[in-house]
């Protein structure tokens, strides 16, 4: 795959003595851009001013960028490891109708700068402690698992890692050659795959099954999965399926952790104003009224009204879209970043909340 790079933006000495970036806003310079697959692109950044990046393996960044005159925020998992702190890599999949992902894939090039904030996220190796891992991913959900694996193998902490990745076909395998290399150099790193098609094209030395994940292929690829802490990331239907499967087969769910960005891809990145026709409830925000279908999130209504809200992850993970329900009934699929007090006061995450009645909302 083609790689675009920029010559070193500053000297070794400046780089080695650079301060750490640990939190807050940072200006990034894109120094490398390459295709991982036909629709997945990685971007390597350095600080526009030299910095060493400190983050927890598995965390995400939020990009702030202007698209058609509108300021947009979107979160992406860091796919590189903090064991290699002089640059940071973000890996982005093109999404049909995805406003931000496709804009970045098309328009962000080597030599360009972009503002980012973070790092954020509790789906990481510091906040979740374990020593035997099962990283279970689908599609671009592989990015945090890759960062965590790089960290665990770079730092040689003796972690026991089963890495099971699900993809549509061999052409959709992200980081395949890097994972092969990690596997080769680390006997305690066991890579296996489940492919919807083309499993027969995978080298015979690699454990690979056809179809989709189920109790049978999980057991045969990772026999001791019951003894492992499981990290799951991928599209919403995949995670729901894996969660139900593990519950059904009696897995200890206290050892289960998941994260997803943009699972409902088209909806989650739909252009403002793209709302469905079905009308069930009235959303009131100050003086504004909007008819909403029960399938729509509060975020869709807020954006369709053109009201200011930061929605970075659109998946109930970053907490940026917090708002308060003053009246009415809602249902939330995530309250991940909210405190018990905030929940008691009616705060919800707009991206993860749907209406069960007419509601009145404060931003």
Residues contributing to the site for ligand FES (CB under 6 A): 311-314, 316-321, 349, 351
Is the Cβ of residue 166 or residue 311 nearer to ligand FES in the bound state?
311
**Residue 208 or residue 318: which is nearer to ligand FES going by CB?**
318
* Residue 72, beta-bridge partner list: 65
* Tokens of residue 13, six digits: 């000495």
**Residue 44 near residue 55, CB atoms below 8 Å:** no
Q: Could you tell me if 6 and 112 are in contact, meaning their C-beta atoms sit under 8 angstroms apart?
A: no
Residues in contact with 187: Cβ distance below 8 Å, sequence separation at least 6, in sequence order: none
50 versus 58: smaller Cβ distance to ligand FES: 58
Q: Residue 311 Cβ, how far from ligand FES at the closest point, in Å?
A: 4
154 Cβ contact partners less than 8 Å away, ≥ 6 residues apart = 81, 83, 84
- The closest of 291, 297, 262 to 277, measured between CA atoms, is 291
Task: Classify each residue of 105-117 as buried b or exposed e, where b means 16 or more C-beta atoms within 10 Å of its C-beta.
Answer: beebebeeebebb
Shortest CB 156 distance to ligand FES, Å: 34
DSSP per residue, 239-275: HHHHHHHHHHTT--GGGEEEE-SSSSHHHHTPPTT--
Distance between CA atoms of residues 114 and 129, nearest Å: 33
| Cβ-based nearer residue to ligand FES, 50 or 119 | 119
Query: Closest distance between ligand FES and the C-beta of residue 321, in Å?
Result: 3
- In whole angstroms, the minimum distance from the beta carbon of 283 to ligand FES comes to 16
**Shortest approach of ligand FES to residue 161 CB, angstroms?**
28
- For ligand FES, the closer CB: 318 or 325: 318
Shortest spacing between CB 310 and ligand FES, in angstroms: 7
State how far the Cα of 235 lies from the Cα of 215, in Å rounded to an integer: 19
Nearer to ligand FES, 51 or 311 (CB): 311
Tally Cβ neighbours within 10 Å of residue 210: 14
State the minimum distance, in angstroms, from the CB of residue 113 to ligand FES.
Answer: 24
141 token code pair: 């959900």
Do you find a cis peptide bond into 115, omega within 30 degrees of 0? no
Closest distance to ligand FES from the beta carbon of 282 (Å): 22
Q: Which is nearer to ligand FES, 99 or 321 (CB)?
A: 321
User: Hey, which residues does 241 pair with through a beta bridge?
Assistant: none
* Residue nearer to ligand FES on the CB measure, 138 or 311: 311
């Amino acid at each position: 795959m083609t790689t675009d790079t920029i010559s070193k933006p500053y000297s070794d000495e400046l780089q080695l003595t650079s301060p750490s970036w640990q939190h807050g806003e940072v200006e990034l310079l894109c120094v490398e851009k390459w295709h991982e697959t036909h629709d997945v692109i990685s971007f390597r950044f350095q600080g526009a001013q030299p910095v060493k990046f400190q983050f927890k393996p598995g965390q995400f960044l939020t990009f702030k960028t202007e698209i058609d005159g509108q300021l947009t925020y979107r979160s992406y998992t860091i796919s590189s490891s903090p064991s290699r702190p002089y640059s940071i890599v973000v890996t982005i999949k093109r999404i049909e109708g995805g406003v931000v992902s496709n804009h970045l894939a098309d328009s962000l090039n080597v030599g360009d700068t972009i503002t980012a904030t973070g790092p954020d996220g509790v789906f990481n190796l510091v906040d979740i402690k374990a020593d035997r891992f099962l990283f279970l991913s689908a599609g671009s959900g592989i990015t945090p698992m890759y960062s965590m694996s790089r960290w665990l193998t770079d730092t040689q902490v003796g972690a026991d890692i089963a890495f099971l990745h699900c993809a549509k076909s061999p052409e959709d395998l992200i980081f395949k050659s890097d994972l092969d290399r990690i596997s080769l150099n680390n006997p305690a790193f066991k890579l296996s795959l489940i492919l919807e098609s083309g499993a027969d094209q995978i080298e015979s030395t690699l454990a690979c099954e056809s179809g989709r994940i189920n109790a049978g292929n999980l057991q045969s690829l990772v026999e001791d999965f019951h003894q492992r802490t499981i990290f799951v990331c991928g599209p919403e239907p995949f995670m729901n399926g894996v969660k139900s499967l593990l519950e059904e087969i009696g897995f200890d769910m206290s050892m289960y952790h998941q994260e997803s960005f943009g699972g409902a891809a088209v909806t989650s990145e739909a252009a403002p104003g793209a709302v469905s026709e079905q009308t069930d409830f009235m959303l009131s925000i100050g003086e504004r009224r909007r008819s909403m279908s029960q399938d729509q999130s509060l975020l869709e209504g807020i954006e369709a009204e053109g009201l200011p809200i930061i929605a970075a992850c659109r998946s109930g993970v970053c907490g940026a879209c917090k708002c308060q329900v003053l009246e009415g009934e809602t249902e939330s699929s995530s309250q991940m970043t909210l405190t018990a007090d905030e929940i008691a006061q009616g705060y919800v995450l707009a991206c993860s909340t749907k209406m069960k009645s007419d509601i009145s909302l404060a931003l």
